[in-house]
Amino acid sequence: MTHLFKCARCGKYTLHDDACPICGGHVKDPQPARFSVQDKYGEYRRRAKRGSGKVPAA
């Protein structure tokens, strides 16, 4: 999967990760959801681990 960046100034997508080749504006990652997915998986794994493990009923 090609990683695309989005210019914060003109909104164009670019492969450049430092600056927009069109307007020279700052580019940012348009898909921060990747981190959320990673987080979700981590939470799911943690929950599954906790659920499968023996949890002493208080």
Which residues form the interface with Zn ion (CB under 5 A)?
A: 7, 9-10, 20, 22-23, 25
23 vs 33 by CB, closer to Zn ion: 23
Q: Shortest Cβ distance from residue 5 to Zn ion (Å)?
A: 10
Q: Per residue in 21-49, is it b (16+ CB within 10 Å) or e — as a string?
A: eeeebebeeeeeeeeeeeeeeeeeeeeee
- Nearest approach in angstroms of CB 24 to Zn ion is 7
Nearest approach in angstroms of CB 23 to Zn ion is 3
Neighbours of 58 (CB within 10 A): 3
